Amino acid sequence: MLFNAAASGLAQEPGRSIKPASEIRPDKNPKMETKKIGLAIHGGAGTIERSEITPEKEREYRAGLERALTAGYEILKRGGSSLDATEAAVRVLEDDPHFNAGRGSVFTSAGTNEMDASIMDGKTLKAGAVGSVQHIKNPVNLARLVMEKSPHVMLDCAGAEAFAKANGIELVDQKYFFTQQRWDALQKMKAAEKNRTSGAGKSFLITDQDRHGTVGAVALDKDGNLAAATSTGGTTNKMPGRIGDTPVIGAGTYANNQTCAVSCTGDGEYFIRAVVAHELSALMQYRGLKLQEAAQDALDTVKQLGGTGGLIAIDKNGEIALPFNTNGMYRGYVDPKGKFVVEIYR
């Protein structure tokens, strides 16, 4: 599903080419000044069938997406930064046990929760990321702290948690992240794995919601600055220490004021191989593609490799794209008039 920004006056100027970043000085270009704001979010892509979700459960998912949109949009509407807006929206989704990030994260094969997150500033190209953290309530907050308070882009495992503690972030017990649904999903995966190796005939229904999921947000603020943030618990039954595309800048997350901000969801290994988030930006910057075409082309590379998923993106003109190659993607955006749109199915 793509948001038609052309009808709302947000489309790129006809015939305008995208110059390489080295030829553009955004701080001295009056055309970069804007009062437009925009926000898009996602809560994961996969095989999402109406028949598999009760009306009550669907209302809960929609309500969670709406809360995240509200949190981010209120910041933008008050003149706040795109960084603050994306961080706030993702934090709401991390706190919602329906989504695979923060509380409600999936379990590793060892029965632990290991979470990844990242955030990127399109104005400066600064970024922060954390991988395989086990005791951080809101990994996206720590990712931003890495960006702003350390000389590094990514910290993982014990080092990331030591950095969090040194900077006043409270560590929580693993039981905080536990949800029965995610634990049951791990047991189903283990049983299915055991049956495959033993040759037993019993089958188990393993849904994409059982296997994986990610949350993310992209935003444009009134100063024309773009930002992206992404957070995930990874994939159910993953090996301890596995890190997917979410904290890999350029794979699952990217933002550049000259082009767009991107947050991805899906089969992380394929998004890493295709460097999807940066690929989208590069298609705009060097080939002059508009956002929607670039977004679809970048996602198509994942499908060609054998992976599935989706992404959300917003460009410097406020145009939004939300392509996915699965049956559904939890997603939403706020249009130029402030209308909230939340969708799940194709």
Continuous H helices in the chain: 55-77, 82-95, 139-149, 157-166, 180-198, 208-211, 268-274, 276-287, 291-305
Cα(75)–Cα(95) distance, rounded to whole angstroms? 18
CA 230 to chain CA centroid, Å, is 4
CA 114 to chain CA centroid, Å, is 16
Cα(15)–Cα(67) distance, rounded to whole angstroms? 38
- The Cβ of residue 50 has, within 10 Å, a number of other Cβ atoms equal to 12
Secondary structure element (H or E) that encloses residue 131, with its range: strand 127-133
Which active-site residues does the annotation give?
Answer: 214
Cα(74)–Cα(219) distance, rounded to whole angstroms? 12
Question: What are the φ/ψ torsions at residue 217 (nearest 5 degrees)?
Answer: -150, 145
